[in-house]
Amino acid sequence: MTTEHNDNAINNTDSGEENKLIAARREKLTAIRERRVAFPNDFVPLADSASLIADYDAFDKEALEAKAIKTSVAGRIIRMRGPFTVIQDGAAQMQLYMNNKSFAGEQAEEFKGLDLGDIIGVEGELFKTGKNELTLRVANFKLLTKSLRPLPDKHKGLTDMEMRYRQRYVDLIVNEDSRRIFAMRSKIVRCIRDYFEAHQFMEVETPMMQVIPGGATARPFITHHNALDQDMYLRVAPELFLKRLVVGGFDRVFELNRNFRNEGLSTRHNPEFTMLEFYQAYARYTDLIDLTEDLFRTIAETVLGTSIVHYQGSEYDFSKPFARLSVIESIKKYCDVQDDAAFATKESIMALADGFGVQYDKSWGKGKIMMEIFDEKVEHQLDQPTFITEYPIEVSPLARRNEENPEITDRFELIIGRRELANGFSELNDPEDQAERFQAQVEQKDSGDNEAMHFDEDYIRALEYGMPPTAGEGIGIDRLVMLFTDSASIKDVLLFPHMRPLHDQG
């Protein structure tokens, strides 16, 4: 084999040394092209590493030798040490014993030119080494794909976080933890689908391009439909379309799909994100609180095998009931406010905000000012699972008014680890009340609020046909996966997160 088998110490970024290695690999590829098809597609493995390990790793050396298992596998070379080579295929790795004396002619030359990162197909017989390692003794092999770029250091991996996000394909090759996170994400999404189907919800799909963006207070992305010659918006939420389906007679619906919000990038925010939204007719927001607790418990037990979840140094026991506090109760508890009169009027709320040094606009109503206090002074203290309820009507344009207190809505948010994971409420199904709230949103937009909602006349028309009493909820899948995989940044759970252009860095 060539000396490049020890090229593991290459930096994550291009360098003069790396360019030399790339040039050497290109020369090898040129030589291969002169002899045969360089990227053949005629090798079909009989097995994969995971299934072979599951079926035969428990055999002792003598029992495996007696079985004489002949098979073939294919994968990427990730380690080379003397006659031992390790390939990776999918979720597992297989050790190969490749003795250069076993090959002759063109295959012997090809064996000498193998490099880390190459993808090969091999045929041989399984055996156990003296260290009891399941290994395939290779009788024949075929180079399927020549890798032209060296892999990062096998011990350090792709350590530059910026490059891990920008070159996720390399990150997945060399970082087992990244593969684990995304395999876990897939299991979580599968568990969610199974859960809602088991509870008689129907999965649906609604438009991502909309004439009127609605369902959330957020700034939308704008695009243009050439054939219709009109501007359209990437959806900020599927809510209004899903509730149209409830009007149409689908009493339980859910959707798992992308939303787009034209906002900044952070460890918690990505402009394109995955949301679960679901709606249940003849249910109240308290029913969804109970469902949400059960859903989180089910995900933990199904995916992790335990109700205990660890996240960034905190431990959560999802087998226990989650705390429940109203917005006012949470401010009283975490800001040490004893007097109920502090929440009675706009003036008293403004005085409370002034005392905490919370900035606000004097044109805001008392509910919005109160939520500013909550956002700045309370939310970051909510580590253990907590449902916050009774949100002011001013910040809940789609939620049903509370029948006893018209200033608040039957709404909740679930906060775990100091961040919101779910938002749900009893839906507003009064078309006249909804029209008034849409109009209030339009006035806010006209005053310069880019996140305020548009007036959706067709949605009002749908409500006028009659929507049954309904409760609905949205859960951010990316933040949910962060929680269950103990990931600090949303970029860690997105295969291809949005990144600032390189010329904008530093």
Element (H, E) at 3: none
Q: How far apart are CA 498 and CA 91, in angstroms?
A: 26
Q: Which two tokens stand for residue 48?
A: 């994969």
Given this model, what pLDDT does residue 3 score? Answer: 41
pLDDT digits (tens, 9 = 90+) for 327-342: 999 999 999 999 999 9
- Yes or no: say if 147 and 133 are a contact pair by the CB < 8 Å rule: no
Please work out, in degrees rounded to the nearest 5, the angle formed at the alpha carbon of residue 280 by the alpha carbons of 275 and 282: 155
pLDDT digits (tens, 9 = 90+) for 192-240: 999 999 999 999 999 999 998 888 878 899 999 999 999 999 999 999 9
Tokens representing 24? 């050497």
Spell out a b/e string for 431-449, using b for 16 or more CB atoms within 10 Å of the CB, else e: beebbebbebbeebbeeee
**Pairing of the two strands 222-225 and 202-203:** unpaired
Per-residue pLDDT 10s for the chain (506 aa) are 444 444 443 444 457 788 999 999 999 999 999 999 999 999 999 999 999 999 999 999 999 999 999 999 999 999 999 999 999 998 899 999 998 888 888 888 899 999 999 999 999 999 999 999 999 999 999 999 999 999 987 655 566 788 889 999 999 999 999 999 999 999 999 999 999 999 999 999 999 999 988 888 788 999 999 999 999 999 999 999 999 999 999 999 999 999 999 988 888 889 999 999 999 999 999 999 999 999 999 999 999 999 999 999 999 999 999 999 999 999 999 999 999 999 999 999 999 999 999 999 999 999 999 999 999 999 999 999 999 999 999 999 889 999 999 999 999 999 999 999 999 999 999 999 999 988 988 888 787 777 777 889 999 999 999 999 999 999 999 999 999 999 999 999 999 999 888 765 54
Within 13 Å of residue 94, how many CA atoms lie on the same side as its CB?
34
pLDDT at 431: 96
| 131 φ, ψ (degrees, to nearest 5) | -95, 15
Structure tokens at 341: 């009169």
Question: What is the structure's pLDDT at 158?
Answer: 66
Q: Which helix (H) or strand (E) holds 498?
A: none
CATH no., domain 176-335+378-503 = 3.30.930.10
Q: Tell me where in the chain the CATH 2.40.50.140 domain(s) lie.
A: 3-158
Cα 260 to Cα 239: distance, rounded to the nearest angstrom: 13
pLDDT at residue 447 in the model? 78
* Whole-number pLDDT of residue 246: 98
User: Distances in Å between the alpha carbon of 108 and those of 29, 30, 111, 118, 139?
Assistant: 16, 17, 5, 16, 12
Phi, psi of 120 (to 5 degrees): -130, 155
Distances (CA, A) of 99 to 58, 73, 104, 107, 183: 25, 17, 11, 12, 34
> Which residues of the chain form CATH 3.30.930.10?
176-335+378-503
The pLDDT score that the predictor gives to residue 157 is 58
Per-residue model confidence (pLDDT) at position 504: 58
What was the pLDDT predicted at 505? 53
CATH number of 3-158: 2.40.50.140
**What does the DSSP assignment read for 186-207?**
HHHHHHHHHHHHHTT-EE----
**CA–CA distance, 192 with 421 (Å, rounded to integer):** 15
Q: How far apart are CA 172 and CA 259, in angstroms?
A: 25
* Residue 218 to residue 441: CA distance in whole angstroms: 12
Q: pTM of this prediction?
A: 0.90
User: For residue 86, what are the CA distances in angstroms to 25, 63, 282, 321, 403?
Assistant: 20, 23, 57, 47, 66
